[in-house]
Amino acid sequence: MDLQAIFNPESVAVIGASATPNKVGFNCLESIVYGGFQGKIFPVHPRYEEILGLKTYRNILEIEEKIDLAVIALNQYTTTEIIDDCASKGVKGIISIAGGFREVGDEGKELEKRLVEKAKQYGIPLLGPNTLGVINTDVNFYSTFYPMKLKKGGISIITQSGGVGLTILYKLMEEKVGVSKWIGVGNRSVIDFPDVIKYLEKDPSTKVIGIFMEGTERAREFLEIAKKVVLKKPVVVFKVGKSKKVDFSAQTHTGSTVGDYNLYKSAFKQFGIITADSVRELIAKCKALSLQPVPEGDNLGILTISAGPSIVILDMIADVCKMPEFHEKTINKVKERMGENPPLVIKNPLDVAASGFMPDDFRALSEAVIQDPEVNAFLAITIQHRHWRFPTPEIIEVVKNSSIPVVVCYPAEYKVVEKEIEKLAENGIPAYSTPEEAAWGIKGLFEYKHIKERFT
């Protein structure tokens, strides 16, 4: 299925565009305009002459130019009818926003069946119904009815829920990390997860694929494609639906024991897909994977000014990496900085307490750990203080001269740490304000390392 017109149209018709800001149709159009889309935009409405300064057409067939993509912001009934006009116009993709289809019962199911039959008969890739649409920051195309502008970056998101999809976007904004594509698959009636990961596999600006999934009838196909995708880029899935009932019609014990959620979890592991159990974990893993390289070995080195956060983190990552002992050279470097008998035990994690409060000391100690020949990934932890600034420029400087992956943990108030997180992200360093998120970041990197080893 060719999704080029969905993600990267040259011209878009917004059918059901409105001039009233409290209408979805207005916001759909405004989103495209506000996002800075450089392609052609054609609002369609039976009565308006002009919306947002754009010439408005009574129907899609009145538009003289070719239309790649039709975004339909009409109700479920008119959406189903208008497909015929879109086909006559020769559109190469449709985004169907309205809900009220199979998610509402038998009548909706019938309606959706007609919609899908038409789309398939005309051979038009249809996204939705019941979706917010897509975002492609490569071309500043934002088809959702939540107007926004995102930082460009390597994370692409596929979501089955608009609400969770937006939650993910707002969290990504907080994390100061950039997005490549965002797609709401909605009811997945024509375009489903397998079609989208296939597209993202070949998308050069997508470095990591993050997914929010409720479930798909095409699970097997999704797995088979994902198995190939993960050789090139990591796939992280947050799957919900733990309470979904098992199949009680089954006659064997196995048939009634195998739950849907368990099956997804096991299959993800088997096919090299990284899993997350929350939006925060999904974002933390995607952030690290989009900014940092994969570690070349299993060893992590930690520098911290307090033991506690490193213990929290170690508990969460014990099954994916090891903590090597420091090389003699590293120990000597630490002693050089701290004096022959420093008030600390020189071991990994290196808890330096007061000896690391000043940025210059933190820089020297970071350098010592990062240069240790046994260390394949580095984690730096320091905590917000009213008088002592964060060692952000120092960390950036040290990381510049190193090729191993680095994660930073700054436990702090968000408003204080925001600029630091941004500065670090701009320099390709994932920083987090809680130990849990830092642990997920590290875990994601090592998990992907193990997956690559296993499948290549």
Q: Can you tell me the distance from the alpha carbon of 20 to that of 28, in angstroms, rounded to the nearest whole number?
A: 11
Using CB under 8 A as the binding rule, whether residue 163 contacts other proteins is answered as: no
Residue of 200, 205, 204 whose CA lies nearest to 230: 200
Which position among 202, 253, 386, 415 is part of the footprint of other proteins (CB under 8 A)?
A: 253
Residue from 21, 47, 204, 252 binding other proteins (CB under 8 A): 252
Closest Cα to residue 290, out of 446, 442, 430?
Answer: 430
> Per rule CB under 8 A, is residue 438 in the interface with other proteins?
no
The amino acid at residue 252 is T
Choose, by CB under 8 A, the member of 1, 63, 104, 219 that binds other proteins: 219
Q: Does 220 bind other proteins (CB under 8 A)?
A: yes
Question: Is residue 319 near other proteins by the rule CB under 8 A?
Answer: no
Q: Is 432 in the site for other proteins (CB under 8 A)?
A: no
Q: Is 251 in the site for other proteins (CB under 8 A)?
A: yes
Give the C-alpha separation, 126 to 95, whole Å: 6
Residues 266-305 that bind other proteins (CB under 8 A): 266-267, 269-271
Q: Which of 64, 65, 106, 217 binds other proteins (CB under 8 A)?
A: 217
Distance between CA 146 and CA 90 in Å, rounded?
A: 27
| The token pair that represents 205 in the structure block | 């600006």
Cα-based angle 92, 97, 103 (whole degrees, multiple of 5):
120
Q: Which burial class, exposed, middle or buried, applies to 284 when counting CB atoms under 10 A from its CB (0-12, 13-18, 19+)?
A: buried
Could you say whether residue 243 binds other proteins (CB under 8 A)? no
| One residue of 11, 140, 216, 306 binding other proteins per CB under 8 A | 216
Q: How many CA atoms lie within 13 A of 14 on its CB side?
A: 31
At position 116, the amino acid (one-letter code) is: V
* Binds other proteins by CB under 8 A, chosen from 90, 105, 255, 393: 255
Nearer to other proteins, 64 or 217 (CB): 217
242 binds other proteins (CB under 8 A): no
Q: Point out which span in 53-61, 185-193, 255-263, 335-343 binds other proteins (CB under 8 A).
A: 255-263
- DSSP letter (8 states) at residue 327: P
Contact 202, 138 (CB under 8 A): no
Residue numbers at the binding site for other proteins (CB under 8 A): 215-220, 223, 250-255, 257-258, 262-263, 266-267, 269-271, 454
